[in-house]
Amino acid sequence: MYLPILVLAFYSFNSSPYSATWQGFTLNWYNQLFSDERILLALKNSLIVAFSAVSISAVLGTLMAVGIARYQFPGKTLYRGVSYLPLIIPDIAIAVATLVFLAAFAIPLSLWTIVAAHVVFCLAYVALVVSSRLTNIDPHLEEAALDLGATPIQAFIQVLLPQLMPGIIAGCLLAFVLSLDDFLIASFTAGSGSNTLPMEIFSRIRTGVKPDINALSVILILISAIVAFIAELIRAFGENKG
């Protein structure tokens, strides 16, 4: 399963501009990435989208998870099912639905429409991870804080939120990786000049895979793997601590 990734990494050090033939070891392709203005701009756009979407999702996802777990309201079961639909709906369906919605209200496409579209699925992932963390927290701790004179907001901020923090961080890291790697939804909702990094990579590989794209792909894989590993460590630490 990982053989294609190993081949990709191997040829990213190939001095030949044609990936099919090996002509020696070089780091030039990695050096070129940091002087490519289009790549750097696409990376900047991807980071803006990922950080913005994750920041919004962290707040809304945490509140959604707490609301579903701690409160009773009409239509709760339906709301829970609808909230987690982005986890199972194909990306193409989310992309088309978002584009139709934006067109219906004549909202011009830009970098911020990508952010709005990414919030849809990032929110669900953050809420899911935070919900799993909530199951390991004793609800009587909040009740004790309320009995001791704390307001509901104080109980949430001072008692519940610190215990949820490992889950929130893990969910945010997972959502960050997913947002950074997304191509399909971004390509449907991006405006002119709002290319993200996956979109820039796709536009280049249509003329053939070059070693600089291999190098960029290796860097993205390493970043994604490191972030996912950190998220799993934080999640496991939070569960063990709970």
* Model pLDDT, residue 179: 92
Arithmetic mean of pLDDT over the chain: 85
* Model pLDDT, residue 115: 95
Residues 6+ apart with CB under 8 A from 53: 115, 118, 119, 122, 175, 179
* Model pLDDT, residue 19: 60
CATH T-level topology, domain 36-240: MetI-like fold (1.10.3720)
Round to whole Å and give the CA distance between 15 and 29.
8
Label residue 20 by pLDDT band (50, 70, 90).
Answer: low
Residue 200 has pLDDT above 80, yes or no: yes
Round to whole Å and give the CA distance between 223 and 149.
45
Domain regions of the chain by residue span = 36-240
CB atoms within 10 A of CB 98: 19
Residue 64 has pLDDT above 70, yes or no: yes
Structure tokens belonging to residue 201: 């990579």
* Model pLDDT, residue 241: 60
Label residue 208 by pLDDT band (50, 70, 90).
Answer: low
Could you read off the pLDDT of 70-129 as tens digits, one per residue? 788 888 888 888 888 888 888 899 999 999 999 999 999 999 999 999 999 999 999 988
Please compute the mean of the pLDDT values over residues 3-32 and round it to a whole number.
80
Cβ–Cβ under 8 Å, residues 202 and 220: no
CB atoms within 10 A of CB 105: 6
Tell me if the pTM is above 0.85. Answer: no
Of the candidates 22, 46, 125, the residue with the CA atom closest to the CA atom of residue 83: 125
- Percent pLDDT > 90 in the chain is 29
* Model pLDDT, residue 207: 67
* Model pLDDT, residue 85: 87
Of the candidates 47, 62, 190, the residue with the CA atom closest to the CA atom of residue 124: 62
For tokens 């969910």, the residue is 171
Residue 201 has pLDDT above 80, yes or no: yes
